Amino acid sequence: MSKKGKLYLIPNVLGGEDVSIIPQYVKDIACGLDIFLVETPRNARRYLIKLGIKETGKAIDDLTFHHLDKHTQKNQFREFLNEADNGVDIGLISDAGCPAIADPGAYLVKTAHRRGIEVVPLVGPSSILLALMASGMNGQSFSFVGYVPFTKPDRARRLQQLEKWANQQRQTQIFIEAPYRNNALLKDILQNCHPATKLCVAVNLTLPNQQVISQTIENWRNDTLPELHKQPAIFLLGR
């Protein structure tokens, strides 16, 4: 029986053009692969060029990119792994941050484990963990809950539920929103949460203009609110 290839989980930058945050060994592995599973092929090509793949003598047009996003069907995930079954190493790249974390690649990783394909996670920036590190909130017990509801009544109930868990279980609650709705989410948090609850907002992490504000809801209400429109942000509620 021939040896199977590996599935490498290749981290991406969180924004901007600077890839110096990516370790050299990750660059070497990524540039050594020929087959990639990616959210946006154009973005993946640009990223690999920044990592130095052309310096290996490879032409971008000779690489294979399989498009993978939230609309990808489960049977396609299985097809994407056929090369690994035949002994070829492949790489999974998300548009930003770490693959399979708040990312459609999670099901691909699950499928790889079922098929006996070795999964190799590589070191890189995770906005979720960076925000938690910088928040001053409980890093021993925390939960990433993804997106909060869009409609105001459902959102209010969800925020109050997350606040309850944060206070009763002393568990940091981490969540996100579509960047163009960040300002509205911040206002809803301030409207629906108790003054003593702590809120951290981490914006543009790893970029020159990054900002991390962590204080009580009461203090948030008394301060000038930051401009969050169309900027990548992580929200955390805690004690």
> What's 136's domain CATH number?
3.30.950.10
Entry pTM: 0.93
> Domain residues for 156?
127-238
Same-domain check for residues 109 and 11: yes
Q: Is residue 142 part of a domain?
A: yes
Q: Select from 121, 156, 191 the last residue of a domain.
A: 121
Examine residue 114 and state whether it is found in any structural domain, yes or no: yes
For the chain, the 3-state helix, strand and coil shares in percent, each to the nearest 5, are: 40, 20, 40
Does one domain contain both 172 and 115? Answer: no
Q: Are 20 and 206 in contact (CB under 8 A)?
A: no
Domain boundary among 121, 136, 171: 121
How many domains does the chain divide into? 2
What local confidence, expressed as pLDDT, does residue 16 receive?
86
- Cα separation values, 56 from 7, 29, 63, 65, 135, Å: 21, 11, 13, 18, 40
Q: Is residue 1 part of a domain?
A: no
Contact 147, 176 (CB under 8 A): yes
Regarding whether 11 and 110 lie in a shared domain, the answer is yes
Question: Do 234 and 167 belong to one domain?
Answer: yes
51, containing H or E segment = helix 41-51
pLDDT confidence of residue 17:
87
Q: What is the pLDDT of residues 94-134, one digit of tens each?
A: 999 999 998 889 999 999 999 999 999 999 999 999 999 99
User: Within a domain: residue 167?
Assistant: yes
In this structure, the answer to whether residues 135 and 116 fall within a common structural domain is: no
Same domain, 133 and 107: no
- Which tokens in the block code for residue 20? 């110096």
Q: Fill in the DSSP letter of residue 118.
A: E
Amino acid 75: pLDDT: 83
Do 168 and 63 lie in a common domain? no
Q: What is the pLDDT of residue 1?
A: 56
Structural domain includes residue 207? yes
Q: What is the pLDDT of residue 208?
A: 94
> Where a domain ends, among 121, 142, 173?
121
Q: How many CA atoms lie within 13 A of 149 on its CB side?
A: 12
**pLDDT, one tens digit for every residue, the chain (239 residues):** 579 999 999 999 999 889 999 999 999 999 999 999 999 999 999 999 999 999 999 999 999 999 998 888 878 888 999 999 999 999 999 999 999 998 889 999 999 999 999 999 999 999 999 999 999 999 999 999 999 999 999 999 999 999 999 999 999 999 999 999 999 999 999 999 999 999 999 999 999 999 999 999 999 999 999 999 999 999 999 98
Same-domain status, 33 and 77? yes
Q: Which helix (H) or strand (E) holds 30?
A: helix 24-31
